């Protein structure tokens, strides 16, 4: 099988997972989730012609394993090189695994002219087992809502995709000591949790559909943020027995509490954490709070950054 291109580069965005909608599934659909694509944090890789299989750059070991599995599944030769310019940090709630798998799959599909869609690749790599946010942001960027999983769902369907105002900023708090639950730990955690109350799922659905999404459409950050904070608190209380609290990291929790006191909204933890997030209305306000955070929270374990939303999906460049 001969390559169709000399090289293919894919840039896949990190994402914030803002929470699940229905963890009970009493009406036949489980999960459903909301999240947003981020600028500035991404996985960037290039597949190029090479006499032998070689992978280099950040995240190379993980990329090599994923690429070899894809080659076996797709029955394509391992006659290429992969160069990683950047990789989303693993297991801190930013969607590293899904973005790596999709970026590799899309790159290899284009490289060999296989014509696979993003959804095809997600199915082949077992992505979207619970949340479809990673798939949605790879395809479209912006803020996305997926419809969870029914009995025959292959990948969670995209229900809504909306642009995020360019001026909004997200402040992220990282705890370098920890990683969120993943793999078998995550599976076991879901098994241990009690049923999620149907009445609470109904309330969250209403808040999302009739408050958060209209507020985003009208660019009303405070109202949008109130719903995200409430959704995060509800789901966080449910997950608390297996992650140690609403936040995995107590120090991230303290920083988020302080940010809320300063007027930040959409307070939460992305996925299993330990990364926390909040939103403010402008780059200037974000930079002010970032400077204050770094003066106030001086633990060597904490890092803070400011990012914007990304209103388009992954970049795919074939040459």
212 domain-assigned: yes
Q: How far apart are CA 286 and CA 179, in angstroms?
A: 25
pLDDT given at position 189: 65
1 domain-assigned: no
CATH of residue 174's domain is 3.30.70.890
80 domain-assigned: yes
Are both 146 and 226 inside the same structural domain?
A: no
Are both 140 and 180 inside the same structural domain?
A: no
Are both 64 and 200 inside the same structural domain?
A: no
Are both 82 and 121 inside the same structural domain?
A: yes
pLDDT given at position 296: 97
Q: What are the pLDDT tens digits along the chain (319 aa)?
A: 889 999 999 999 999 999 999 988 888 899 999 999 999 999 999 999 998 999 999 999 999 999 999 999 999 999 999 999 999 999 999 999 999 999 999 999 999 999 999 999 999 999 999 999 999 999 999 999 999 999 999 999 999 999 999 999 999 999 998 766 566 766 676 777 888 999 999 999 999 999 999 999 999 999 999 999 999 999 999 998 888 889 999 999 999 999 999 999 999 999 989 999 999 999 999 999 999 999 999 999 999 999 999 999 999 999 9
118 domain-assigned: yes
Give the contacts of 213 (CB within 8 A, at least 6 positions apart).
145, 160, 162
Q: What's the number of domains the chain is made of?
A: 2
Are both 153 and 20 inside the same structural domain?
A: yes
Are both 180 and 300 inside the same structural domain?
A: yes
Are both 133 and 176 inside the same structural domain?
A: no
Are both 36 and 114 inside the same structural domain?
A: yes
2 domain-assigned: no
Are both 178 and 160 inside the same structural domain?
A: no
CATH of residue 24's domain is 3.30.230.10
Are both 158 and 289 inside the same structural domain?
A: no
Are both 19 and 117 inside the same structural domain?
A: yes
Question: pTM of the full predicted structure?
Answer: 0.95
Q: Which domain holds residue 130?
A: 7-164+311-318
pLDDT given at position 97: 95
Are both 244 and 299 inside the same structural domain?
A: yes
């Amino acid at each position: 099988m001969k390559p169709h291109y000399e090289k293919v580069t894919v840039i896949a965005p990190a994402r914030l997972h803002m929470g699940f909608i229905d963890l009970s599934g009493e009406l036949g659909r489980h999960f459903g989730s909301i999240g947003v694509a981020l600028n500035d944090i991404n996985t960037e890789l290039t597949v190029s012609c090479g006499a032998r299989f070689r992978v280099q750059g950040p995240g190379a070991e993980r990329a090599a394993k994923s690429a070899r599995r894809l080659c076996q599944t797709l029955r394509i030769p391992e006659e290429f090189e992969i160069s990683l310019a950047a990789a989303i940090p693993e297991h801190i709630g930013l969607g590293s695994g899904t973005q790596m798998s999709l970026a590799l799959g899309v790159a290899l599909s284009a490289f060999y002219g296989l014509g696979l869609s993003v959804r095809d690749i997600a199915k082949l790599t077992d992505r979207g087992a619970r949340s479809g946010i990673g798939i949605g942001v790879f395809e479209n960027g912006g803020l996305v809502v997926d419809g969870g999983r029914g009995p025959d769902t292959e990948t969670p369907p995209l229900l809504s995709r909306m642009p995020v105002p360019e001026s909004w900023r997200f402040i992220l708090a990282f705890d370098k000591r920890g990683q969120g639950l993943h793999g078998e730990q995550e599976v076991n955690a879901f098994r241990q949790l009690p049923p999620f109350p149907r009445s609470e799922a109904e309330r969250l659905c209403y808040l999302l559909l009739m408050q958060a999404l209209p507020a985003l459409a009208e660019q009303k950050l405070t109202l949008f943020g109130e719903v995200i904070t409430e959704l995060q608190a509800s789901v966080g209380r449910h997950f608390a027995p297996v992650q140690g609290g609403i936040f995995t990291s107590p120090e991230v929790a303290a920083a988020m509490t302080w940010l809320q006191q300063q007027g930040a909204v959409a307070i939460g933890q992305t996925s299993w954490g330990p990364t926390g997030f909040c939103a403010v209305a402008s780059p200037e306000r974000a930079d002010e709070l970032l400077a204050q955070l770094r003066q106030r929270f001086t633990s060597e374990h904490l890092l803070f950054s400011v990012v914007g939303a990304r209103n388009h999906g992954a970049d795919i460049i074939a040459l």
